[in-house]
Each structure stands twice: as C-alpha cells, then as structure tokens.
Structure 1
Amino acid sequence: MSDTNPTDQRLNDLEIKASFTEDLLDQLNLTIYRQQQQIDRLLAEVSQLRQQMPEGGGGAARSLRDELPPHY
C-alpha cells in the first residue's frame, strides 16, 4: 500500500472510524432499549406490589412481640 495517496489513506481511515462509530451507536441504542423494557417491567411489578399491600401501608404501630420468631 505504499503507492496510495495520503488523502486516500486518510479517507479510508475516516470511513473505518465512521463504521465503528455506527456500530457502537447501534449497540448503545439496543442497550438503552433493553434497559427501558426492564424499567417498564419493574414499574409494573412495583405497581402490583403496592396493590397487594394492605391499607395503611404498614404505618400502624407494631408490638415487638409480633416481630419475634415463632420459636420464642
């Protein structure tokens, strides 16, 4: 490749860098898409858990005896 023009070599190098950059961008977009799907699933799960929680949300005072394991 010693007979190539320096401008042609620079252009070739820039095309290679652009190709790698496009690939990286595609990978990042896929990662963001998957993370958003996971966030949506987690939000749905939190919503379901809140619906299953008894009214009052556990804010009522509890006796320490209620916290003891059953073998005491």
Structure 2
Amino acid sequence: MAKRGKDTLLDNIAIALGDNDRPISPTLYYPEIYQNLSLALTVPSEQQPDLLNQFAQNWYSRIRGLGGLA
C-alpha cells in the first residue's frame, strides 16, 4: 500500500489485477526504462505488442546504463 498512487506503472498493474479503486499517479518511476511497458497497460490491445517488444528490446541496455547490471 505504501506505493499506492505514487507510480503509474505500479498503479496500472494493480488495477489490472483487480484493485479498481486505486488512484493512478501521473508520475512514472524511471520513465527512460519503463515508459513503453507503462503505456502498454493503457493503450488498445492491438498496440500492446509493439510497445512490449520495444520495452523488451531496450530494457537490458537501459538498465545496464544505470549500473544495475554488469
């Protein structure tokens, strides 16, 4: 509950899992990494594969640039 209404990605995941009364934050933690994943939860289903593919292709290089992976 501590992150409720603080990160749009986490809020949209929670809503997809049934937390329908959850406030949605306008803020996205680490947008340079998670923007496409976050958008994939809010766009029409025909646009989701492209956004998920873009997220998957860029995730490793972006997380690596933050020093998260060697």
Q: Please report the TM-score for the alignment, with normalisation by the length of structure 1.
A: 0.26
Determine which structure has the larger helix proportion and give its number: 1
Q: Which has the larger radius of gyration?
A: 1
Structure of higher RCO (CA pairs closer than 8 Å, 6+ residues apart): 2
